[in-house]
Amino acid sequence: MMPENKKIHIVGSHITQFGELWDRSLEDLAYEATTQCITDADLQPKGIDAIFVANMTASQFETQAHLGALVSDFLPHHPPSTRVEAACASGGVAIVQACQALLSGLYETVLVVGVEKMTDGSADAATVLSAAAHQSAEYGSTFPGLYALLAQAHMQKYKTPRSALSMIAAKNHGHGISNKKAQFRRAITPEAVEKTMMVSEPLRVLDCSPISDGAAAVILSTTRSKMNNSIQIIGFGQGQDSLQLSKRKSLTSLQSTKDAAQNAYRMANQGPESIDVAEVHDCFSIAELLAMEDLGFCEPGKAAAAVLKEKTSVAKNSVAFPVINHSGGLKACGHPVGATGVKQVAYLYELLSSSTNYSTGLTHNVGGSGATAVVTIVQKVNSTKGTQQ
């Protein structure tokens, strides 16, 4: 449970444009996210007690390390700042560490920034990203290849149809049309997905999230809130599993997601039935299908049927399921890896603040092929769901 005397309020956010931003540097993106987030929170820069910066690849792509200091330098008082790296879950883990610091009482108001510049660096993207796998045991592998193994296992065990993967990709592209920050804002059909080039059986080009640039930021506080627009983080959890796929107990689910979700639900004193909208880590289409089952939205092997009936889409949402990837997900919004987990929280904060359709949201951020996972639950403080009022 969240401590009774501590409430973690989200009081500001900013998401930059995501995409191939060749005219924007890593520092440009981090600066925009930082300064605009502080403006959104109606804070003076000196109101920030500490900073957590999520990033995976800056040392390789940009030859820029020491990102904590880089971002702290944007503020006149140079608050303590820590870089967090957990592969594609860097943003989610940064949120967890920020929440832990707030709940400890060490800080009252903190800034979390996720940033990644991937599209025009000097290093090969596949090589850099492969560092999130086990370098000796999985040498030469790529993440499309590793997730293809998960897809093959799920298809074999549950007779999961290829068409479910295509429907997920098409649904997320449809959602991305209304997201002005998304990298891709055009509709695609399931049939179009199945006509694209095979990357690693059964995953095709349009099953894969893109290489992206972008940044996102949120400000979290235990002492400040927006009284007319108050959103709280009411639960969070982090889970781990073996870095090597060969050591996993199962290839048809991610134990790290199950553990992270269980911890988040317990802290929030809620269950999956309370979630209205979820931003899940669809780095590949199979990852969203696995997430639906691992987060408890449906029984193992049942996600494909729900997907094919479009129960998780905005247009045809079923009350039995949350809307999934309202933003377009990683697939349409883009996946600047260190920014993704922070973007998920920022996006739900903005969505819950502006919409009367949703009161409780969940974010799900995964590192590598599932060695790390983070789940965060956010809620309007005036929601009638659950116990967090």
Instruction: Show which residues are catalytic.
Output: 88, 335
Strand, coil or helix: 3: coil
Q: CA-CA distance, 322 to 170, in Å (whole number)?
A: 17
Cβ count within 10 A of residue 289: 26
Strand, coil or helix: 236: strand
Find out whether the peptide bond into 202 is cis, omega within 30 degrees of 0.
yes
Q: CA-CA distance, 24 to 36, in Å (whole number)?
A: 16
Strand, coil or helix: 332: helix
Cβ within 8 Å of residue 319, ≥6 positions away: none
The phi-psi region of residue 383 (left if phi > 0; otherwise alpha if psi is between -120 and 50; otherwise beta) is beta
Q: What are phi and psi of 329, to 5 degrees?
A: 65, -170
Q: CA-CA distance, 33 to 113, in Å (whole number)?
A: 7
Q: CA-CA distance, 224 to 222, in Å (whole number)?
A: 6
Cβ within 8 Å of residue 350, ≥6 positions away: 13, 15
| 234 touches 379 (CB < 8 A) | yes
**Bridge partners (DSSP) listed for residue 279:** 363
Cβ within 8 Å of residue 157, ≥6 positions away: 252, 301
Burial of residue 1 (CB within 10 Å: 0-12, 13-18, 19+) is exposed
Q: Which two tokens stand for residue 147?
A: 């997730």
Cβ within 8 Å of residue 121, ≥6 positions away: 57, 60, 61, 62, 128
